[in-house]
Every structure is written in C-alpha cells, then in structure tokens.
Amino acid sequence: MRALITGGAGFIGSHIAERLVAEGHEVVVYDNLSSGRRENLSGFAANANRLELVVADVRDAAKLAECAAGCDVIFHEAAIVSVPYSVEHPQETHDVNIQGTLNVLQAARAGGVRRVLFACSAAVYGEDPEMPKRESMRPSPISPYGVEKMCGEMYLQTWAKLYGVETVSLRYFNVFGPRQDPRSPYSGVISIFVDRALAGTSPTVYGDGEQSRDFVFVSNVVDANLRAATTPGASGRAYNVGCGHRTTLNDLLAMLGRIVGRDVAATYAPARAGDIKDSLADIALARAELGYEPAVGVEEGLARLIEFERKRRSA
Ligand code: UD2
C-alpha cells in the first residue's frame, strides 16, 4: 500500500514509517520538522524510492491534498503534543490540532484515501477518577489539547458516516521508546529518567512518586496502528492503546536501577500543577476488535530503550 504519515519524522510517526518500509510499503512522510527530525528516518531511509519526505505543515491544506492523492491510508500523527503548551497557546494548538486534522480529512476525501488513522490521546478522559478508562465513558477533557484530540476524533467519526472515508481513532496512553526527545521540560517522564540515569545525574520526581501511568512501548502502538489500518469493520471506532497495567514512578525508578545495575536515586520536588494522579487503560475493546496485544511490557521496553540510548551515545 501507499501510506501518508503526517508527523512521520517525529517519535511515533517515524516508528510507523520504519515498520511500513520494512514490510515493503510505499511511504510518504509529511512533517514540518518543528519537532520531527530527519535523523529519525536515517536508520531505515536507504531504500529511498519507497520513502519520501515532504517538509510541510498540516495547516497547508493544498499541499496535504496534493500528497494524499493516490494514498491508500493516512496515519495522522502530526500534532502539537504538549498539554501545558496548549494551555499557553490555545489558538496555535487549535490551528494545528483541529484545523490540521480537518485538513487531513478533507485531503483524504478528495484524494480517495480508503482509511485514516488518528493519534488521539488519553487526555480526552480528563480527571474522571473512574479506572480503568473505557471508551464508553463520557469524555471530559480538561485542557485545550484534550479538547482538540476529542474534536479530531469526532470529526473522524463524522467523516466515516458522511463521506465514506473509513476512520479509526487510537487513544494513546503514555507512549515511550527510542527517538522520544528528552530535552523539553514537557517530554515524557521515561525519556527524561533514562536520560538522567545514563548521564549519572538524579531525575526529579514531581510529587511522592506514587502517581501511576499506563506506559506503553512504541512498538505496541505501531502494532495497534497497523491492525487498525486493516481490520474490517473498525471504521468509525475509537480504541484505547495502552498496556492495561499501571506503573508508579517509584516502580519505574526501581526497574531502571535493575536494568542499569545500580540505584537510581531521584530528587523529589512538589507535584506539578494540573497533574492527574493515576491513568490506566482498559484495552479489552482493542483486544477483541483489533486483536491488539501489547507484546512488549514496560520493563522489557525500558530495557530496549536503554540499549538504544547506550548505542546512540557510544556512536
Ligand atoms: C501524558 C501525555 C500527554 C497527555 C496526557 C493525558 C506524554 C509525554 N504526555 O501526560 O500528551 O496525553 O498524558 O493525560 O505522554 N514527571 C516527573 N518528572 C519529570 C517529568 C514528569 O515526576 O521529569 C511526572 C509528572 O509530574 C507526571 C508523570 O511523571 O506525574 C507523567 O508525566 P508525563 O509528562 O510523562 O505524562 P502525563 O501523564 O502528564
């Protein structure tokens, strides 16, 4: 198949690109390189005729339409992904995350694309204390980012009904793995902790470290995407993509210590404003309807990430 991946030079998008190229598919990566990087593609870009990079923005509707024409599937991963940034810059994140998604859907419709996959988020659940999160729960986002992801998902469902473009929304929980950038203060906690542990410096835990998340290794997220791209009958649906387990930050530090072979001592600081305490996905629906199974658990994923980072640092 021929696939367009928006945000394809970013963390998750580049892993989808890598898998598709390995399976012999033709891939167009569409990325404005604001947070994506060419280096994220360099490890597997050797077969240049199967992988094309278009440096453009999802706000550019005309360019998107040009690139979508003739594609079978679009993986829409491009977004401004920081919750706190969306709180500070809601207009900009609206333009990228909502208008950008609408542009993708328009392009899909005009270009005869069979199916669109959307990188949605656990942020749609907000602070509803009910656990685990099920897709049937009423969404109650508490940030512009959460609203934008919810809105994108609703646009997708509408497209499936109105225009016959098949769409599937995947609600990612806390994704981690190689190529996630640890350098922003809003980076995923695992990327930051691994960076500190390998540098021999002390990671900072905001709060008592007993908050928990459903951390999901990126290869599981790629699996979910490929299944969602091909499973008949999945159109118009939304699925949680997590591991179905929660891990506290203190557990995470202990795992890190086991893998690197020495204690990773953290510094504890006051909890971050607006943080939720716990997050956990119910993945029964994705299991039942997509055959999704998170094959790589948290500790195994952490070990793979550390191995990748060690190699990268020694190169
Ligand atoms: C995740 C997503 C976010 C959104 C949200 C929905 C990531 C990177 N972010 O935010 O996009 O979908 O879920 O609820 O996946 N922490 C530390 N030390 C650090 C960094 C973080 O203690 O150096 C804590 C942080 O205070 C929080 C936990 O680790 O309690 C997880 O933080 P995060 O930024 O990795 O992810 P989260 O769940 O806030």
Active-site residue flag, 239: no
21 CB under 6 A from ligand 1? no
Check pLDDT > 80 for residue 12: yes
Q: pLDDT tens digit string along 83-116? A: 889 999 999 999 999 999 999 999 999 999 999 9
Query: What is the overall mean pLDDT for the chain?
Result: 95
Q: pLDDT tens digit string along 163-213? A: 999 999 999 999 999 999 998 767 899 999 999 999 999 999 999 999 999
Which residues does 252 contact at the CB level (< 8 Å), separation at least 6?
189, 190, 193, 215, 298, 302
At residue 286, φ and ψ (nearest 5 deg) are -65, -35
Question: 83 alpha carbon to ligand 1 midpoint, in Å?
Answer: 9
Check pLDDT > 90 for residue 47: no
188 CB under 6 A from ligand 1? yes
Number of other residues whose CB lies within 10 A of the CB of residue 308: 14
Check pLDDT > 80 for residue 282: yes
Number of other residues whose CB lies within 10 A of the CB of residue 235: 20
Task: Name the DSSP class of 133.
Answer: B
Task: Please give the Cα distance from 276 to 297 (Å, whole number).
Answer: 23
pTM, two decimal places: 0.97
Active-site choice (30, 85, 125, 145): 145
Our mutation pick for probing the ligand 1 site, out of 97, 189, 250, counting the most ligand atoms within 8 A of Cβ, is 189
Residue 275: pLDDT band (50, 70, 90) is confident
Q: pLDDT tens digit string along 14-31? A: 999 999 999 999 999 999
